[in-house]
Amino acid sequence: MMVPVRCFTCGRVIGSDWEEFKARTREAESPEDPEKVLDEMGIDRHCCRRMLVSHKDLVDIVAPYQ
């Protein structure tokens, strides 16, 4: 649904990084490589990278049904 606030494995705060990651990789006119974006953002743990790369934003799809 919504991006988790913290990484499930290590507990690092990643919720604040989601908007920048999404804007640079998915919504940009010329999307950047997710690997390079995460490196530039300083996210170097594999568990935190997994949280951002594998997240599917479904909140806009599910919200009308509440």
Mind listing the pLDDT tens digit of every residue in the chain (66 residues)? 688 999 999 999 999 999 999 999 988 889 999 999 999 999 999 999 999 999 888 877 888 876
Position of tokens 């950047």?
A: 32
Using CA atoms, how far residue 23 sits from 11, 17, 26, 65, in Å, is: 23, 10, 6, 26
Sorted by where each begins, the domain ranges of the chain are: 15-65
Q: How far is CA 23 from the centre of its chain?
A: 10
- pTM here is 0.81
Separation CA 9–CA 63 (nearest Å): 27
For residue 26, what pLDDT is reported?
86
Q: What is residue 45's DSSP assignment?
A: -
**Residue 45 in contact with residue 12, Cβ under 8 Å?**
yes
